[in-house]
Chain A
């Protein structure tokens, strides 16, 4: 029977074997493929959840001055948290904590700690090391210290207003911390400012000394490179400590150099003269009679002090002895439109933009008529921030160009944007007049020996609800130095400075002397060499005296 039976062929067995072989080949391919992938690319060990933490831990960039001196940095700090579910007696814990952390709200904390459903509440953030040690010493259960980055300003009040500060979470709130917040949050290299910490200190210390000499409400001091616009110092008094994160009064927090507006008075007169000289409506030899008040538009302009030879004065005399009448007559020659256009070109009517903390927008006359023209010519009726005004004097120091303020290094002098606002010869002529104002006029107290200070005083009555108050002045001094090779602009503004010695409260006695001291101390720090031999003739004279010496 077997001979007639068909031999059995295990068809399914072969198929099974092929299927198994196929599956194994597939597994093999996957494993080999994955092995090759891992070998080539490495394991993906960083879990997705870890990435946000890595991003969040980017350290806020430091802020340094132009020489790399540290101004703001981030250091490890500690905050205190509690786990209410692990605390049995919330009242007792809160009372114990209150003993070492007096700023705590006892009732609020007790309420929070009593909520036993919660597992995490902040007790106090930003602990000092002493506070942390004191809390640790309590030995209370249910508390934990959380490490958090803390922004600190190791030089204290130095450049406090300009640096600004962050909140506890590291977000910029004021000053550079706010203006450069995005850049700082990105971490990386320090933000290098144009400020010079040493010059900044000099300006702040002199403002502090000004308060010792004068009973004053506030002040501002600025030092700017006339050629590049680099701001080397920008100080506001009273000084602000950014480590206190805005805990001071509003009067302290106000940055008077950038965010306050002042009617700055006669330091506008050089602008009036420059405008007229440039327009050709004034020459250096033109003479004016300033012996009596003049009526221009609705304003009667008069000089508080009579000028020498008042019946015949030049533009140089108008600046040297600060004649309101002279300034108004010069402005009248040029006209309203020219005045507006000129001030607009100097960004005194707004429109200034620069990288960094911004300045207050100006307050200008609502109706710019003959009356406004006359008052603006000597710095009344127009209010601007001290920084905005300081930048106008850069034109006298660099051959007639306006440069915008620059706060961040590096600055390539070849790429500084300059706008020609007056002819070089006009700038030179006004600079000469400003030097004369210091050598023979109202600015004598600013004459820092060897530094050829060229500047102008400004005394303006403060406007109030009932008009100008003759007992409250804004005094200012704007200068360029050294006159023979201008490098820097200095502006000092004092709010209600009243000499304690009984001297007059005009800028000649207040702001001019402070500016002179600032220049004398800041010039060596800025590598400005004093002018020792002013002319070749003097040098020849020296050589001659040597030759005749036996």
Chain B
């Protein structure tokens, strides 16, 4: 009986220690998780701010004038579209108007209205 009691007490103590350690480990892990979560939240907030700044900086009323003034870009006009049926004729007209034409130079018909950057 005594042996049984001693073994029982020993097992209880071992289990208590094991539970304590498990709990401690879980708390440590939880702490790490909380830290990582806080870090993720912080990074998420930074990303939100940066996305908002990007959207602010790329708003059309800001980008439009920059694209026009700095890059010489303009919106495509119907004259810049060419139907397949009219392609060879359009290229033929370009051949007539351009002094020296290479196949490479004739290809980008869509860029005809783009001003060079200044």
Contacts and interface: CB of A to CB of B under 8 A. Distances in A.
Interface of A: 17, 20-21, 24-25, 27-28, 31-32, 34-35, 38-39, 42-43, 45, 59, 69-71, 73-76, 152, 154-156, 158, 197-198, 201, 205, 449-451, 520-521, 524, 529-530, 532-533, 539, 542-543, 545-546, 549
Contacts of B89: 542, 545-546
Contacts of A543: 85
Contacts of A17: 1
Contacts of B81: 450, 529-530, 532
29 contacts: A24-B9, A24-B12, A28-B8, A32-B15, A35-B15, A45-B30, A59-B44, A70-B51, A73-B51, A75-B48, A154-B53, A155-B55, A155-B60, A156-B56, A156-B59, A158-B59, A158-B61, A197-B60, A198-B60, A450-B78, A450-B81, A532-B78, A532-B81, A532-B83, A532-B86, A533-B85, A533-B86, A543-B85, A546-B88
Contact of A69 (B48, B55, B77, B85): B55
Interface string B55-77: 11001110000000000000111
B13 to A, nearest CB: 10
Contacts of B18: 35
Contacts of A451: 78
Contact of A31 (B19, B56, B85): B19
B59 A75 contact: no
Interface residues of B, number: 41
B23 A43 contact: yes
A190 to B, nearest CB: 10
Given A28-B8, A70-B52, A532-B83, A45 B78 contact: no
A39 B18 CA distance: 10
Interface string B9-42: 1011001101100110011001000000000000
Contacts of B59: 154-156, 158
A43 B12 contact: no
Contacts of B83: 532-533, 539
B6 to A, nearest CB: 11
Contacts of A39: 22
B82 interface: yes
Nearest to A17: B1
Contact of A38 (B19, B55, B88): B19
Contacts of B56: 154-156
Nearest to A157: B61
A524 B18 CA distance: 70
Contacts of B78: 449-451, 530, 532
A74 B56 CA distance: 14
Interface of B: 1, 4-5, 8-9, 11-12, 15-16, 18-19, 22-23, 26-27, 30, 44-45, 48-49, 51-56, 59-61, 75-78, 81-83, 85-86, 88-89, 92
B61 A28 contact: no
A530 B44 CA distance: 43
The 9 closest A-B pairs by CB, nearest first: A450-B78, A530-B78, A154-B55, A201-B60, A70-B55, A532-B83, A154-B56, A539-B85, A533-B83
A451 B23 CA distance: 72
B65 to A, nearest CB: 11
A76 B45 contact: yes
B36 to A, nearest CB: 15
A206 to B, nearest CB: 13
A74 B22 CA distance: 39
Contact of B12 (A31, A59, A69): A31
A353 B22 CA distance: 58
B8 to A, nearest CB: 5
Contacts of A530: 78, 81
A546 B92 contact: yes
Contacts of B61: 156, 158, 201, 205
A45 B53 contact: no
Nearest to B86: A542
Contacts of B86: 532-533, 539, 542
Nearest to A70: B55
A46 B76 CA distance: 59
Contacts of B52: 70, 73, 75, 152, 154
B24 to A, nearest CB: 10
Contacts of B22: 35, 38-39, 43
